[in-house]
Structure 1
Amino acid sequence: MKGMTLLQELFDSICKINCLNEEIESLYHQASVKLGVSDSVSFVLYMTYINKGKCLLYDIYKSSGISKQTINSAIRKLENEDIIYLEKYNGKSKIVCLTEKGKEYANQTAKKLYEAEFSAFKDWDEKEMEIYLKLMKKHRNSFKKQIEKL
């Protein structure tokens, strides 16, 4: 019976972790709503903002978890509004770049989100941040291996 208790504790922990992850994702969605942009537009702006106005399109795809089609729609919307433009990079690759108008827009949107994140973490000491990052990476790597086995 003791083994069942450990399994139940693991199950309960996984449920708590998944719920917390979903709550955090929901907070990002709430931020997008408050900033007046879609989640995909918010992510494109955020990635270009934190990368000093330029970001490889591949990195946006890879980091977002959002479908390529949805990211491409967000990019077309931002291009049509003169917020971003695409530059060719090493053959087929492209870089998403903020225009001057886009830099102002990113300051009104992505910068606010970044500052909220920064404020949320500013009270963490170096050791807490190190532990959090180490555990997140460990979980990601282990989970990735399990997903590859599916």
Structure 2
Amino acid sequence: MPVRVQTEDFDLSTEVAQLRAHNPSIGAVACFVGTVRDLNDGSSVAGMELEHYPGMTEKALEAIVTQAQQRWPGIEVLIVHRVGKLAPLDQIVLVATTSKHRGDAFASCEFVMDYLKTEAPFWKKEATEHGARWVDARTSDDAALARWGVKSGNAADEA
């Protein structure tokens, strides 16, 4: 299954090995692992809680995988995204892509992560020294997606 939303942590080596299994044409694997930081927007962060809408979130992630596979035929994609309470240094998300050559692996991995940051329905609430706060979408994430020729749903809402 190319998409999983879960509370449990993941093991990068295991996930990549399973993604590569039984496909000898893979010549490249690109991975991105996002983690919880202890500082954001000038405030220390003691933890983060990620929420999602079950069913809708998985469909949105599957649509991202489909978009990437249409742009880079032959790639394989894995997205593992955690929800629930997380602490600094905890892993949040894994995006891994495989292809015959490194260029497609790198590009598709970056595309999936850029798309995920703006279009996936996750809500993040940080615990800071000033209390809990919801994390807003960033203009820089919309710009990252726009360079792929895709307009963010967030950008459309702001217009």
Q: TM-score, normalised by structure 1?
A: 0.25
Q: TM-score, normalised by structure 2?
A: 0.24
From the two aligned structures, give the one with the greater strand fraction: 2
Which has the greater radius of gyration? 1
From the two aligned structures, give the one with the greater helix fraction: 1
User: Highest relative contact order (Cα 8 Å, sep 6+), 1 or 2?
Assistant: 2
